[in-house]
Chains A and B, each alone.
Chain A
Amino acid sequence: MLDLSNFEGYRIKANVHSYRQGDLYIAHDVNSGSLHLLDERTFNVLKAFEDLQEVEEKITLAGINQIFGQVGKPALSEAELAEIFAEMEELRQAGTLFSEEAEKVTLNYPEKPIVKAICLHVAHDCNLRCEYCFAGTGAFGGSRTLMNLETGKKGIDFVLESSGHRNHCEVDFFGGEPLLNFGVVKALVEYGRKAGAALGKTIKFTLTTNGVLLNEEIQNYLEQEEISVVLSLDGRPEVHDRMRPYANGQGSYAKITPLIKQFATRRPESSSYAVGTYYYVRGTYTHFNLDFDRDVLHIADLGIKQISMEPVVAGPEDAYAFQAGDLDKIRAAYDRLGEELLIRRAQDRAFNFFHFNVALDQGPCLIKRLSGCGAGHEYVAISPEGDLYPCHQFVGQAAYKLGSLYDENPHQLKAELVKDFRSANVYAKSACRECWARFACSGGCHAANVAFTGKLTEVYTLGCELQKKRLEVALYLKIREIQTKTLV
């Protein structure tokens, strides 16, 4: 039988997330990563546990039945309660419910950062003028410029050397629009393959593009070189064109959509988890399209199977920024998207939505989940001039400059910044300590946290709410998927 004294000092709300999604009652055990389906009575008991912990130091049987009485639920019989407690205790003993958080880990890093991934800003220029661009429509607050070959090669040399004993490095061609500097991209791929091979290393290349220049020649090249590609499309024509126009104001949907569709058909086996050579079509939603589920479905209806749709990160002065009152509409859109995915799965026309990926027992280890994205010490962004920043979103912010490829020792990154980014893990953020989603988002995006709070260790709370909602739907879909497989 479950001993209620076991919960003294154990915060249920922070360690077991129980919620209703669709017609399922779900419990996610945060520390083990386990997932359970509950009947309604058991769900109510769990919620009563949570409520009691808010107001009482101890959970008691009398307290549970008092809560049941307050919300009009019939009191549990002693026998029923004993059954539920017995099942909970069995799972607790097995370590899949009410599990304890692993003892605090010291995240050890070598003194010299092992940088294994770089974001090469080969073009601080763009052929579009997207309203919400964090790159300031391509120029990152500076002048419009392209990276020269020498700087690009230095960037490749930097990651090959900084990656130490790691044999797999990653290089993303980013911008602005990287295809505006396609000649340099090609030369760098050739250079990187040779330089990597000479050291027994492999570089995985990706390219993030708006699709405007994605002609047949470039598509063939990307195929031949097995370069993964992230393509930007916001959804319905009117939504896309409003935010992603050319410099003359004309929308870009009509130009890019056939090209993106064409490219997607070349990679029918693309991994939803972005493993191997893949493509992803990625959009941004804003205050203007809170029904962004319709944009995701629009993209899916184009025949595109790998889709990501990101919430815009914007200051309150921007008209497209999310406003008070938007959150419920956004949550409803994720709910609708989840239900529509289920319908399409049953009709054998499913697609993948990146934020609903959740591998659970095959997901990243706890060390990775605690430490986060690696910006500023495992991953850096390089500007066209060769300046080094913690990630692409910090490029151009002088306070966050880590160094330069043209420094006497470019590997000597600014020590205090490296330390700050390494320290900004889940343990360092007070809001995360009480959050059930802490191991899914690793404390959120550093750039978004800084943009909204001015600090690496304080979280962007709207981002937290969106993350939690996506995870709720993702876990629900995972259960549905497993149930369907079991039935077959």
Chain B
Amino acid sequence: MAKHIQTIVKANLSATVKTGGCGKCQTSCQSACKTSCTVGNQVCVK
């Protein structure tokens, strides 16, 4: 049990270079903003 660092979310974003890029995700500006880039506020729909 780690004493100093607790991992809350273990992710591997770099690996999605190989699995991603399908292009099925919603265009970010169609959702709720229209004035800022909100790619990071989306989910992957795959």
**A binding-site residues for B, Cβ under 8 Å:** 27, 31-39, 41-42, 83-84, 87-88, 90-91, 94-97, 99-103, 105, 114, 116-117, 119, 134, 166, 168, 170, 172, 174, 204, 206, 208, 230, 273-275, 278, 280, 282, 284, 306, 308, 310-311, 313, 354-355, 357-369, 372-375, 378-379, 391-393, 439-448, 463, 467, 471, 478-479, 482-483
What are the 9 closest A-B residue pairs judged by CB atoms, nearest first?
A365-B20, A440-B40, A274-B31, A33-B11, A365-B16, A367-B21, A33-B13, A280-B32, A102-B14
Q: Is A391's CB under 8 angstroms from B37's CB? A: no
Residues of A within 8 A of B39 (CB): 364, 368-369, 372-373, 440-442
| A444, B25: Cα distance in complex, Å | 18
Q: Is B33's CB under 8 angstroms from A282's CB? A: yes
A126 to chain B, nearest CB (A): 15
Q: Is B2's CB under 8 angstroms from A87's CB? A: yes
A55 to chain B, nearest CB (A): 25
Pick the contact of A363: B5, B19, B26, B44 (CB < 8 A): B44
Q: Is A168's CB under 8 angstroms from B34's CB? A: no
Q: Which residue of chain B has its CB nearest to the CB of A369?
A: B39
Q: Is B16's CB under 8 angstroms from A360's CB? A: no
| A25, B11: Cα distance in complex, Å | 19
Residues of B within 8 A of A174 (CB): 34
Given A282-B32, A364-B42, A471-B40, are A482 and B21 also a contact pair (CB < 8 Å)? no
Residues of A within 8 A of B31 (CB): 206, 230, 274, 278, 280, 354
Q: How many residues of B contact A (CB 8 A)?
A: 42
Q: Is A367's CB under 8 angstroms from B20's CB? A: yes
A391 to chain B, nearest CB (A): 6
Pick the contact of A274: B36, B40, B42 (CB < 8 A): B42
Residues of B within 8 A of A446 (CB): 37
| Most A-side CB within 10 Å, residue of B17, B22, B32, B38 | B32
Q: Is A83's CB under 8 angstroms from B40's CB? A: no
Residues of A within 8 A of B27 (CB): 116-117, 170, 373-374, 378-379
Given A33-B9, A168-B24, A313-B35, are A355 and B41 also a contact pair (CB < 8 Å)? yes
Pick the contact of B9: A102, A378, A482 (CB < 8 A): A482
Given A37-B6, A84-B4, are A361 and B11 also a contact pair (CB < 8 Å)? yes
Can you show 14 pairs from A to B with CB atoms below 8 A apart?
A: A34-B10, A99-B14, A170-B26, A206-B30, A273-B41, A354-B41, A358-B40, A366-B13, A393-B35, A439-B40, A441-B36, A442-B40, A444-B37, A463-B36
